[in-house]
Amino acid sequence: MHTLIFGICIATILFAGHPATAYPLYDRADITVKHEWTQVPHNWELQGEAPSGHPINLRIGLKQGKLDELITTLYEVSDPFHARYGQHLTKEETEALVAPSEETFQAVHNWLAFHGVDISSIAYSPARDWLSLQLPLARVEAMLSTKYHAYQHVERRDTTIRTLSYSLPRALHDHIDVIHPTTLFGNMHDFRATSHITSSGATFDSIAASNGATVKGSAGQDIPISCNTTVTPACLQVLYRTDGYVPKAADKGNRIGIAGYLEQFVNFADLQTFFSMFRIDAVGANVTVISVDGGLNDQSTPGVEANLDTQYTEGLTFPTPNVYYTTPGTAPTINDSVTPPQRDEPYIDWLQFVLSHDDMPQTFTTSYGGDEQTFPIDFATRACNLFAQLGARGASVMFSSGDGGVGAGTCETNDGTNRTIFQPVFPATCPFVTGVGATFHIAPERGIDFSQGGFSVYFPRPAYQAAAVPPFLKNLGSTYAGLFNPAGRGVPDVSAQGEGFQVVVGGSVESVGGTSASSPTFAGIISLLNDFRISQGKPSLGFLNPLLYSVGLPAFTDITLGNNPGCGTPGFNATEGWDAITGLGTPDFVKFQEFLGKL
């Protein structure tokens, strides 16, 4: 360990033993705030100071060298009118674009060395754009000019060690995007409307009572009338016209991935029971479970969310291989009365894990998120750019848009002004993912009241929404002026059924609703379309939105009924064209096949 020479007010500081090596002196007067909260985040309360010896696994996101080129490439390979359409990047090509510059490495290494960090102890991501090192809390506090405290969530009662602000030398702001854990308080939750759970008896009675009666779908197909309230894989297959399609590319590498968090575990026995009831030809098939950072899959505690996701992705895509990623929702901590186990945000962990592999599923679905404003903008931006890497490598990424109508939580800003504002959900607001809202009923489908939609505060409207969103805003006029950002990225992009899903949990059938059901449903259909493409020797669809908002428009059933109340308002209405409750509408698999066969 180098011996630091302090108290010398010169432009550089020398380290004993290495007199020829100069390190910049980061003058205290030149340290500026990187991110701060003006108040303790909603639903968290201060418990006291954190112990100085508490170990922190500090992760530093370095400025990525050619990020603009990566995003330009992403749009080119995702635009069906561009000559590069479908020419997705390899892992190595993607990493070359996000690798930090040598100047960034030098600046950050100098800063760490200045604070006595052993540079050889640093771990790097494959692209070397993330640094990871474990340090005692007191050292981190000195580095970030801050003080950490223990905070407890008032509802969940879990505790986390966080700070309300952190600072860096001004010279480092252009080299460091984000540092974690700092101001990001755990606020991720699943989007599952548990209030809709019913008994198994009522479930089967509703199916039996239909007596085979049907109604006509938007394409003239006969749909069992029981699907109006009781959704099964067969309902979704006929409604979205995937029935009769047999996947052909399972042996050519087509897969679908499901991201699981917060100790939600897939139960294999429940999956087989589900197959025996609702997808008999799939009996004996299973889901591959991959552990991320020690994630478990405890068979004694089946998760409604995990079972919902996997039963319906595989229920729609069998025999396509399904991969469930179990990422832990708790961070390492010391075992004492002051610092009980703390909950963490695992997006970055999961993204880095998936991106570190040469091979990945072509389709992903995630049913988790939180109010956008609860994520520090530096964290949200960095995570969003990681989703851009997934898209550039040929993956389609779906996220639930949320279950809060136009706003869950407090419907108030957290900037100290406490203004009323609609609350969009991140990561669905990230422009590089496809946000999925919810519908219910059939013939016609309607936007359901909990389907969360609106406009991002962090991310501006992307070019692919330039034609679709303005007509909605024009019809809205001055309604809700000041309650949302009309220049922001609009969500959701698309929608699918989200009510009355029959899910086997602990051996019994429960009826579950939420955009947690909609995202795996839409992702299942995209996985089948990827199968169709790959079986023809074509590349996967990759980042979907530029295609969906252009040549994909005729492949949607427009939803024009429903609204999503919240924040003391009726919310947005479903209208002709894109709207902030159902997006572009629900998919028609056959129509998608028709135009994709020509691309």
Residues annotated as catalytic (active site), given as ranges: 305, 309, 516
Query: Does the annotation place 558 within a ligand binding site?
Result: yes
Q: Which residues contact 118 (CB under 8 A, 6 or more apart)?
A: 1
Q: How far is CA 371 from CA 78, 197, 350, 410, in A?
A: 28, 24, 20, 10
Q: Give yes or no for a contact between 546 and 464, defined as CB atoms under 8 angstroms apart.
A: yes
Q: Calculate the dihedral angle through the C-alpha atoms of 268, 319, 440, 461, rounding to the nearest 10 degrees.
A: 110
Half-sphere exposure of 173 (CA within 13 A, CB side): 11
Query: Does the annotation place 251 within a ligand binding site?
Result: no
SS3 content of the chain, % helix, strand, coil (to 5): 30, 25, 45
Residues 208-228: b if buried by 16+ CB within 10 A, e if exposed: eeeeeebeebbeebebbbbbb
Question: How would you classify the pairing of strands 130-136 and 55-62?
Answer: antiparallel
Give dist(CA 547, CA 530) in Å, integer: 14
Q: Give yes or no for a contact between 60 and 112, defined as CB atoms under 8 angstroms apart.
A: no
Q: Is 122 helix (H, G, I), strand (E, B) or coil?
A: coil
Q: How far is CA 178 from CA 55, 166, 171, 387, in A?
A: 19, 10, 14, 16
Query: Does the annotation place 79 within a ligand binding site?
Result: no
Amino acid residing at 23:
Y
* Long-range contacts of residues 349-353, Cβ cutoff 8 Å, at least 24 apart: 349/292, 349/293, 350/259, 350/261, 350/292, 350/325, 351/383, 351/386, 351/387, 351/389, 351/390, 352/125, 352/130, 352/386, 353/292, 353/293, 353/325, 353/327
Q: Give yes or no for a contact between 423 and 372, defined as CB atoms under 8 angstroms apart.
A: yes
Query: Does the annotation place 205 within a ligand binding site?
Result: no
Q: How far is CA 554 from CA 209, 522, 591, in A?
A: 35, 16, 7
Instruction: Indicate the length of the chain as a whole number.
Output: 599
Give dist(CA 79, CA 74) in Å, integer: 9
Q: Which residues contact 213 (CB under 8 A, 6 or more apart)?
A: 224, 225
DSSP state letter for 566: B
Place of tokens 């003006």: 38
Give dist(CA 526, CA 533) in Å, integer: 10
Q: Is 532 helix (H, G, I), strand (E, B) or coil?
A: helix
Amino acid residing at 62:
L
Give dist(CA 373, CA 463) in Å, integer: 23
For the annotated binding site, the residues are 558-559, 577, 579
The binding site for Ca(2+) comprises: 558-559, 577, 579
